[in-house]
Structure 1
Amino acid sequence: MGILRMEKCVWLLSVLLFAVTNNYAFPKLDGKPSLRFVALGDWGGLPVFPFHTPRELRTASEIGRVADEMGIDFILSLGDNFYYDGVTEVDDKRFQTTFESVFEDDSLEDIPWYVVAGNHDHHGNVSAQIAYSKVSKRWHFPSYYYDLRFKIPKSNATLAIMMIDTVTLCGNSDDFQSQQPEKPLSQEAATQQMSWLKKKLAASQDDYLLVAGHYPVWSVAEHGPTRCLVKHLLPLLKKYNATAYLCGHDHNLQYLQDELGIGYVLSGAGNFMEHSLKHQRKVPAGYLRFYYAELVSMGGFAYLEASPKDLTITYIQADGKSLYQTSLPKRS
């Protein structure tokens, strides 16, 4: 009964957070120097006709509106791009039916997508998703892991993003069994990626340093914290003073922040919505700042704006409501 009461309390807290934060204003196109982007995970439609879900359509439409009214420089695709078994080849029809024909607003035509793979993508042919980068002008997936670096307009401030493959690092997961990746398919590949990541993080002098992958470090929901990432990635985020970690995997919206001020942006509501507090006791007390998983919701995503002063994170529902907003400072 104690756990049930706790779940009800956290659920009520999420409702109150929604009510309190629903009045946040969207950032506006005001001419101020900033870099604006969307973090979107788990948007990958369905493997049967019409190959998309109503939530994906509504979320795509809202991203198009945000791009038109607020501005978007790029989109981070955080994995599970094609449910349930990825794609088979570079000319797989799912690229058209689940991606191109869904995110089709004119305002999205020239916005680049920077992509990582999720566990469902690894059930299929990830190399075909990488190869699709040569087919689509907006699909950018150069390798399993890679880094990005941007200069914030009209300033000397910079933002770096390490795009990592958490399945290669930790192994694939089974949504219907343990839900935890047990071990990488290739320990050599996992070691190589971790070595690359350490070097990149150590060398970064950027004002904002982000790491983006599919599995969460921290999550209160169905899949919960990823033990492998807590063990191997979390110490690096702390050691190298990362600004935030972005992910999907759990099908809801969460914002967590640790005692060092590192933000954990979970944006996995692009296609499904699941309400679960199964792992709330596996997350340190006080970390969870925002949780949204209303089953009647049509999805949502995170909108981030990096200025020379701070990094603002706004969670936006697919019907256009601003759910929660917070900011993180530049690295010291």
Structure 2
Amino acid sequence: MATAAAMGRVVEERGADFVLALGDNFYYDGVRDEWDPRFQETFERVFTAPGLRDLPWFVLAGNHDHHGNVSAQLAYSRHSERWHFPHHYYSLRLRVPGTNATARLLVLDTVLLCGSTDDFGVGATPGGPADAAAAKAQLSWLRGRLVAARHDLYVLVAGHYPVWSVAEHGPTTCLLRLLRPLLRQHHVTAYLCGHDHNLQFLKEDGIGYVVSGAGNFMEASQIHKAAVPPGVARFFFGAPESPGGFVHLRLDASAATVTFLEATGRVLHHVALPPRDL
């Protein structure tokens, strides 16, 4: 509730065109069907601030969503004007304000790509995709979309599992192997994720890695700090007494500006990523 209220204030102060939900939308076991009361109890009746009411939400699935019925979350798009979940993975073309330039947001299902995890063991990692052919198809789709985005001023990729993280779950081995080389090859601006319950900014080879998993739980562990290359981890916030936090991302002609905010409204960290060299 605190995070939702703060998001509403930030939308009014800083502006926003949409909200991006980075997975684990419903703890602990997703939803049963498209009529599940959780859609009302923890979405429609929570994110009610004036600034949020009319914004579209673009959604992806996390491991806890896959413990339930992800197809029901897709189907709920028919029942809500602001819940947009068109496919397990999809692409959004964005206009960069004040320019003729475009940006691209590529939304992934990292659980289908890498497999599920029970999420409760320190360092618990996905055990491999349940459907290897479907994982291969998603990766092929991503490669094609990254090639097609070569003229976009910014390219953002979003998924639930982190590539890099110093926290409880740490780096995702599958994504280091499959996704990290593609992000580097195609000069992606940033990778956005959740899963670990804190706020982090990491940077490697010019790519920003944004972890925004602090909408509810907050965890202070940095147990995987040694698993991240030296100098890559730039910011971490996971104070257990905090009411939560989130990230505001703004694209304009000069930079992709990433602002980490606590649910109190306090600005925790601020970074600017340059446009891609086209």
TM-score (norm 2): 0.98
> What whole-Å deviation, never above 9, does each CA across 1:265-311 have from its counterpart, x for those lacking one?
00000010001111111100000110001111110011111001110
Counterpart of 1:123 in structure 2: which amino acid? H
The DSSP-based 3-state class of the residue aligned with 2:246 is strand
- The AA in structure 2 aligned to 1:182 is G
Q: CA deviation at 1:73?
A: 0.8
Cα distance, 1:176 vs. partner? 2.8
- Structure 1 CA distance, aligned partners of 2:119 and 2:84? 27
* Alignment match of 1:230 (pick from 176, 180, 190): 176
Q: What residue number does 1:134 align with?
A: 78
Instruction: Give how far 1:109 is off.
Output: 1.2
1:321 aligns to 2:266 (yes or no): yes
Q: Distance in 1 between matches of 2:207 and 2:42?
A: 33
Asked if residue 246 in structure 1 is aligned to residue 192 in structure 2, the reply is yes
Q: State the AA in 2 paired with 1:301.
A: F
| Matched residue type, 2:172 | T
1:68 aligns to 2:12 (yes or no): yes
Matched, 1:261 2:206: yes
Residue of structure 2 in register with 1:212 after alignment: 158
What residue number does 1:123 align with?
Answer: 67
Shift of 1:213: 0.4
CA drift of 1:158 comes to: 1.4
2:57 to 103, 110, 113: 113
TM-score by length of 1: 0.82
Q: Say whether 1:143 aligns with 2:143.
A: no
The alignment partner of 2:226 has SS state of: helix
Q: Of residues 89, 95, 101 in structure 1, which corresponds to 2:33?
A: 89
- Residue deviations 1:199-243 (CA, integer Å, cap 9, x gap): 000111200000000000000000000000000000000001100
Question: How far apart in 2 are the matches of 1:294 and 1:253?
Answer: 10
Structure 1 CA distance for aligned equivalents of residues 212 and 254 of structure 2: 24
Sequence identity (%) = 56
Corresponding residue for 2:132?
Answer: 187
8 Å contact kept, 2:103–2:155 = yes
CA distance in 2, matches of 1:157, 1:305: 14
Instruction: Give the superposition deviation at 1:154.
Output: 2.7
Q: Which residue of 2 aligns with 1:312?
A: 257
2:219 alignment partner AA? E
Query: Retained in 1: the 8 A contact 2:18–2:57?
Result: yes
Equivalent position SS for 2:3:
helix
* Count of residues paired in the alignment: 275
C-alpha RMSD of matched pairs (Å):
0.8
Q: Could you say which residue in structure 2 is the equivalent of 1:288?
A: 233
Structure index of larger Rg: 1
**CA apart distance, 1:123:** 0.3
User: Which one is further off, 84-93 or 171-180?
Assistant: 171-180
Q: Secondary structure at the match of 1:303?
A: strand
Query: 3-state SS of the aligned residue for 1:199?
Result: helix
Aligned amino acid, residue 312 of structure 1: T
* Structure 1 consecutive aligned stretches of length 4 or more whose deviation exceeds 6 Å: none
Q: Which runs of 5+ in 1 are unaligned?
A: 1-56
Unaligned runs of 5+ in 2: none
Corresponding letter in the other structure for 1:174: D
